[in-house]
Amino acid sequence: MTNSVKMLDGRSIPKLGLGVWQATNEQVIEAITTAFEAGYRLIDTASVYENETGVGEALKMSTLPREEMFITSKLWNPDQSNVEQALEDSLTRLQLDYLDCYLIHWPAPSLGQYTNAWKGLIKAQQSGLIKSIGVSNFLPEHIDTLIQQTGVTPVINQIEKHPLFSQQSLSEWCTQRGILVQAWSPLAQGGKGIFEQPEVTTIAAKYAKSPAQVILRWHLQHNTLVIPKSVTQSRIVENIQVFDFTLTPEEMTLIDGLDKHQRLGPDPLEFV
């Protein structure tokens, strides 16, 4: 299994990246430096994480060529009516000329702005400020609206997804349309008990891997992209060492069975 996959727009995206939600500007500098050394190329931030400045510092410190990095940021809800300025501010904080991917963070349907925001992303893509455009926390009805209004399909839907909340039907819906599913909170924000489940610990022992590695592998074998977060050096290194073993169909089914339809984050229909 290779470490990247093609998106609908023909560009490649790494299957695994580093998430940096709830990390400070100081923490992300060390975390991203460690991650790049360990082989990560994708960094997932957002304006609302208030750490784009630290991410920008880390990118500037790196000796990696810009074209080898894949930097994602997200448009925050109140900025849906002001895409141009929000994107410019993110690029300034990140010290970048372009983003590899920009996502509308939440549909926030009560604002009634997400289609206009999507038009803003399309325009910014045409002017070269964003390479690929996608969405996050969108339901089929929201994505259908975007496609009907603009003819442009998002390349990614970044959604909450982990063994306790596997979102099978939304994932299948996206896959059928060529939209890649990227899991946020792929480790259920540190396990929420899944690291101790006997199904997981038994599989982990068999492959001499950690429970976190088994869960990340489960995502990858479901063709889900992952952005596990850590600021701990050993975990950052551990989380990318998931391309050298393969779960059997029976093991995949055992982990599928842990689904409790249990959201950890907000409901996309309600969150503003």
Residues 55-84 that bind ligand NAD (CB under 6 A): none
Residues 162-191 that bind ligand NAD (CB under 6 A): 184-190
Residues 87-106 that bind ligand NAD (CB under 6 A): 105
- Cα 11 off chain centre by: 16
Please give the structure tokens belonging to residue 134: 């996608």
Total binding residues toward ligand NAD, as defined by CB under 6 A: 25
- What backbone phi and psi angles, to 5 degrees, belong to 46? -160, 155
Q: Residue 199 Cβ, how far from ligand NAD at the closest point, in Å?
A: 17
d(CA 170, CA 48): 25
Q: Residue 236 Cβ, how far from ligand NAD at the closest point, in Å?
A: 8
Catalytic (active site) residue 114: no
Please give the structure tokens belonging to residue 167: 């979102």
> Does residue number 44 form part of the binding site for ligand NAD (CB under 6 A)?
yes
Q: Is 271 strand, coil or helix? A: coil
> Does residue number 235 form part of the binding site for ligand NAD (CB under 6 A)?
yes
CB 187 within 8 A of CB 238: no
Q: Which of 135, 227, 254, 255 binds ligand NAD (CB under 6 A)?
A: 227
> Does residue number 114 form part of the binding site for ligand NAD (CB under 6 A)?
no
Residue nearest to ligand NAD (CB): 19
Q: Residue 169 Cβ, how far from ligand NAD at the closest point, in Å?
A: 19
Closer residue to ligand NAD, CB minimum distance, 16 or 212:
212
Q: Residue 210 Cβ, how far from ligand NAD at the closest point, in Å?
A: 6
> Does residue number 229 form part of the binding site for ligand NAD (CB under 6 A)?
yes
Q: Which of 181, 230, 240, 258 binds ligand NAD (CB under 6 A)?
A: 230
Q: Residue 116 Cβ, how far from ligand NAD at the closest point, in Å?
A: 20
Do β-strands 12-14 and 70-75 pair in parallel, antiparallel, or remain unpaired? unpaired
- What backbone phi and psi angles, to 5 degrees, belong to 96? -120, 155
> 184-199 burial, b for 16+ CB within 10 Å, e for fewer?
bbbbbeebbebbebeb
CB 4 within 8 A of CB 12: yes
Q: Which of 212, 225, 242, 258 binds ligand NAD (CB under 6 A)?
A: 212
CB 121 within 8 A of CB 130: yes
Distances (CA, A) of 260 to 33, 183, 194, 198: 36, 16, 11, 16
> Does residue number 14 form part of the binding site for ligand NAD (CB under 6 A)?
no
Q: Which of 49, 102, 114, 207 is catalytic?
A: 49
CB 39 within 8 A of CB 63: no
Q: Which residues carry out catalysis?
A: 49
**Which residues form the interface with ligand NAD (CB under 6 A)?**
19-21, 44, 105, 136-137, 158, 184-190, 210, 212, 227-230, 235, 238-239, 265
